[in-house]
Chains A and B, each alone.
Chain A
Amino acid sequence: DQQVKQNSPSLSVQEGRISILNCDYTNSMFDYFLWYKKYPAEGPTFLISISSIKDKNEDGRFTVFLNKSAKHLSLHIVPSQPGDSAVYFCAARAQKLVFGQGTRLTINP
C-alpha cells in the first residue's frame, strides 16, 4: 500500500527554468510533509517542510505547496541550477515518516 506516491521517476529541466516535482498521498492523517534531496552514495538530506495547516512554505529558491483537498504537494525550484541534480523524495508523517519512490531531477546546462 503506497501511501505516498511520486509518479514521475525522472524529470529533466533546463538550467535557469523552474523545476516542479509532484507528490500525491492517500492518508488524510498525515500532519507534516517534507522533501529530502539525495545525491549518489550519500544519505538523504532535509530540504524543506510544510505543516498540514499551511498551504505554502518558501525558503530561498525552494517553495513547497500543499493542496489538502487534492492530497497533493509539490516542490518548486526556481531558478534551477546544475547542483540541484539529485533524487528528490517526498515524505509524509503520521505515526511514522513515509517516503515516496523518488524523482530523479536532471538540470541541463
Chain B
Amino acid sequence: NAGVMQNPRHLVRRRGQEARLRCSPMKGHSHVYWYRQLPEEGLKFMVYLQKENIIDESGMPKERFSAEFPKEGPSILRIQQVVRGDSAAYFCASSPGQGFSGANVLTFGAGSRLTVL
C-alpha cells in the first residue's frame, strides 16, 4: 500500500514560468491537503480538497496559485508566473476521513522542492 506520492521531488523553474506539482493520495483516501514550508519555517496550510471540490483555500495566495483534485487522477497544485519567493518545499497530505475532525490524522508525502532561479 503505497503512501502519499508526490512528483516531481525536485523542480527548477525560471522566474515567470509555471510550476505544476502532483499528489496522489494514499489508497482509500479522498481528502487532500497542501502545505508549504518556507526555509527555516514551519508548515503553512494552503488548501484542502476533496474530489472535484475545494473545501478550504484560505491559505492560498490570492494570485497565481490554484489547486484541483479531479475525479480521476492526482491532485495538482499549480503556480503561474513563479517568483523567487515561491521557492519552498510543498507537502501534500491525505486522510480517509473528513478534514480536521475526530482523530483524523494526516499522512504526508515526501514533498516537492521548488527552486525558482
Contacts and interface: CB of A to CB of B under 8 A. Distances in A.
A91 B45 CA distance: 11
A79 B42 CA distance: 26
Which secondary structure dominates where chain A touches chain B?
A: strand
Nearest to B43: A99
A73 interface: no
B56 A43 contact: no
B103 A97 contact: no
6 contacts: A43-B91, A43-B93, A43-B111, A46-B106, A94-B100, A97-B33
Interface of A: 4, 6, 32, 34, 36, 41-46, 49, 51, 89, 93-102
Q: Which 6 A-B pairs have the closest CB atoms?
A: A43-B108, A99-B42, A101-B42, A99-B43, A43-B110, A44-B108
Nearest to A45: B108
Given A89-B43, A99-B42, A101-B42, A43 B109 contact: yes
Nearest to A4: B42
B45 A96 contact: yes
Given A43-B4, A97-B106, A101-B42, 13 more contacts: A6-B42, A41-B110, A43-B6, A43-B91, A43-B93, A43-B108, A95-B56, A96-B48, A96-B56, A96-B58, A99-B42, A99-B43, A101-B41
